[in-house]
Amino acid sequence: MSIQKDCADHLRATYRNMTGEKLRSGHAHELVAAYFGYGTAAALQVDVTFPLSSLEEAEILIPDIDGINRRRTELSNVPAAVPEGRALAKIISESLEAAGHFTGEIWDSTYLSDDINDFIQRDPMVIENQLAGEIATTNAYFDELYIEETSVESHDDSLVATLSGSLNGEQDQDRAFHGDKIKFTSIMTMRRAASRVGYFEPEFETGGSVDDSMYYELDDQ
């Protein structure tokens, strides 16, 4: 049985348990395709570049909630009781996890910057390691990483996020001040693994420099 059919069957069964009514198989398949980022079920089925069968290789899944809502309004005779996009995405995600089709992280496309930040805060070394050279020029101990701005672009084969922020530390009071903040920009790239919403683990390219504005203010005193 295909992943798409598994999800569609689970969606229909869940809807029937919730409402006592039936959801047509065609509607369920179209909503599942929208979850995976496709405009139609047929488009999902003919994608041989990033087939859904490769989903087990993905580490991050970002369901297309807006796409689900859009497809729900496009379909004819969809029951009014069919939930909105986020609720449908949760049902389909639970189906994928229960069947063992996907074991990675599922992010919310509506609040993507929050999930990106959460991922980094769980392992800030993905950024800090690439700032080791700048860290070495200071006499500070760094332990606070802040993402201040996030912009995301979707490409045919990847999702790319540009992150800007600061790495803040505490100055060693027994040594001369050489800065305790590093401003950085990091490019996070996630290559597509399966469908239009399944990605391999993020890769980071980070550059930054010590914020020496405080250093000059101290010199001027």
Q: Give the C-alpha separation, 140 to 118, whole Å.
A: 25
Q: Token pair for residue 117? A: 């930040």
- Average pLDDT, stretch 204-216? 80
Question: Is the whole-model pTM more than 0.85?
Answer: yes
Q: Given the DSSP bridges, would you call strands 181-194 and 158-171 parallel, antiparallel or unpaired?
A: antiparallel
Are residues 135 and 128 in contact, defined by beta-carbon separation less than 8 angstroms? yes
Range from 84-93, 155-164, 203-212 carrying the lowest mean pLDDT: 203-212
Count of CB atoms situated within 10 Å of the CB of 128: 18
Question: Do residue 186 and residue 201 come from a single domain?
Answer: yes
Answer yes or no: do 46 and 119 share one domain: no
Are 86 and 110 within 8 A, CB to CB? yes
SS3 23: coil
Q: 11 and 68 share a domain?
A: yes
With beta carbons less than 8 A apart as the criterion, state whether 53 and 6 touch. Answer: no
Q: Which residues, at least 6 apart from 178, have a Cβ–Cβ distance to it below 8 Å?
A: 137, 138, 139, 140, 210, 215
What pLDDT shows up at residue 176? 53
Q: What does the alpha-carbon distance between residue 15 and residue 9 come to, in Å, rounded to a whole number? A: 10
pLDDT of residue 171: 72
Structure tokens at 119: 């991922």
Q: Is residue 221's pLDDT more than 80?
A: no
| 191 and 130, same domain (yes or no) | yes
Averaged over 127-141, what is the pLDDT? Answer: 87
The whole domain housing 178 covers 109-220
Token output for 134 = 């700048």
Do 90 and 131 belong to one domain? Answer: no
Query: Which of these three, 60, 85, 106, is where a domain ends?
Result: 106
Residue 174 pLDDT exceeds 60 = no
Residue 209 gets the label, from left (phi > 0), alpha (psi -120 to 50) or beta, of beta
- Statement to judge: residues 145 and 60 lie in one domain: no
Per cent of the chain over pLDDT 70 is 91
With tokens 């869940």, the residue in question is 14
For 66-75, what is the mean pLDDT? 97
- In this structure, are 128 and 178 located in the same domain? yes
Mean pLDDT across the chain? 92
Nearest by Cα to 111 from 86, 133, 87, 88: 86
Residues 149 and 63 in one domain: no
Question: How far is it, in rounded angstroms, from Cα 204 to Cα 193?
Answer: 17
Do 115 and 189 lie in one domain? The reply is yes
Q: Is the domain of 67 the same as that of 170? A: no
Whether 4 shows a pLDDT value over 60: the answer reads yes
Is the pLDDT reported for residue 19 higher than 80? yes
Q: What total of structural domains would you count in the chain?
A: 2
**Length of the chain in residues, anyone?**
221
pLDDT tens digits for range 144-170: 999 999 999 999 999 999 999 999 877
Instruction: Give yes or no for residue 216 having a pLDDT over 60.
Output: no
Please tell me whether residues 80 and 125 are part of one structural domain: no
Q: Are residues 68 and 16 in the same domain?
A: yes
Q: Give the rounded percent of residues in the chain with a pLDDT score beyond 90.
A: 81
| Phi and psi based region of residue 37 (left: phi greater than 0; alpha: psi -120 to 50; beta: remaining) | left
Place of tokens 């020029």: 137
Q: State which of 54, 84, 106 marks the end of a domain.
A: 106
Q: In which band, very low, low, confident or very high, does the pLDDT at 138 lie, cut at 50, 70 and 90?
A: confident
Residue where a domain terminates, one of 106, 138, 156: 106
